[in-house]
Amino acid sequence: MFRPTSFHSNVSSTDILHFFHISHDFGTSRATIMTITTIIFDVDDCLYDVGTGFTAHRNTDGATEFMVDNLHFPSKEAAQQLRDEYFLKYHSTAKGLSAAEEDGRLPPLPDGVSLQPGEKRFDPNELDKYWATNLDFSMLGGSLDQRSLDTFESLSRSSTQIVGFSNGPRLYVERVLKEIGLAQYFEPNKLFGVTDVLPHCKPDKSSFEFVLNKVGALPEQCIMVEDSMKNIRAAKSLGMKTILIMGKGRKQQALNKGASLEPRPQKWVTLRMIKIKPWMPLLKLSRRLTQS
Ligand SMILES: [Mg+2]
């Protein structure tokens, strides 16, 4: 039976994601090149640190003020309860509110307000516009540090394609990337918000397949960079390599709660990182790929 038994990295500063793959088959060896063509980045709590508090802001006031103003929830508390219930199931506020409407969980329309036949009460694009203009983006702290920017600059000059895939809506995602200084590295046709993939969203297999199809990549040619273990498992199940971003903030939150930071199940995660760094983690990745 043909079975790969070892990999040797062939890493240079300009072409970092090609690896020699040495296979052994009935006593004979042959080398092939295994190429990573595509790196897919999640955005929230992945390209900026969860410790900024921006995600907490978006998922509390950012979501509930929209729900009170646009969907007629009686209070922010009632809105938060429903938002959290559906976020647990769907991992996306936009997807969750769409599902809540289908389940008949939105409050009744006020007197004198009616819908046209087939008209939906919740429009994900309205949430998108609301977030893109009303959230407090100053919490992100402006542009990323120079080393992180250098990482993207180097990647953009390599043959590896940079893809963004978020469960946040598109205009909002574009605004985040602009605020942290990365907008120029994500070409419009290689950036996907949840509004581009609905009714699917991560971790649905179909959402990943949609993105892979659009960018012309096979799963085994991709690395998925994520902070969500649900999404990491889905990506790994499809055959991608995975980088789990822990975030300084998340690590500290866990330590404050007295939790021990147990290693994540190794079978799902090719490499763990606190934040995206330049060459060193990618060199480590080349070694880790020998075992996954
Ligand atoms: Mg994320």
pLDDT digits (tens, 9 = 90+) for 263-273: 555 677 766 66
Q: State residue 274's pLDDT score.
A: 64
- The whole model's pTM is what? 0.81
DSSP annotation string for the chain: --EEEEEEE---SS-TTEEEEEEEETTEEEEEEEE--EEEE--TTTTS-GGGSHHHHIIIIIHHHHHHHHH--S-HHHHHHHHHHHHHHHS-HHHHHHHHHHTT-SPPPPTT----TT--S--HHHHHHHHHHHS-GGGG-SSPPHHHHHHHHHHHHSSPEEEEE-SS-HHHHHHHHHHTT-GGGS-GGGEE-HHHHTT--TT-HHHHHHHHHHHT--GGGEEEEES-HHHHHHHHHHT-EEEEE--HHHHHHHHHTT---PPPPTTT-SEEESS--SHHHHHHHHHHGGG-
Å from CA of 44 to ligand 1 middle: 4
pLDDT bracket for residue 244 (50, 70, 90): confident
> Cα separation of 91 and 89, whole Å?
6
Mean pLDDT value across residues 45-66: 94
- For ligand 1, the distance from its centroid to the CA atom of residue 85, given in whole angstroms, is 18
Cα 170 to middle of ligand 1, angstroms:
14
- Give distance in angstroms: CA of 91 to centre of ligand 1: 10
Q: What is the mean pLDDT of residues 96-109?
A: 95
For residue 48, how far is its CA from the centre of ligand 1 (angstroms)?
A: 9
How many angstroms is it from 227 CA to the middle of ligand 1? Answer: 5
Q: Rounded to the nearest whole angstrom, what is the distance from the C-alpha of residue 110 to the centroid of ligand 1?
A: 35
CA of 290 to the centre of ligand 1 (A): 27
Centre of ligand 1 to C-alpha 74, Å, is 29
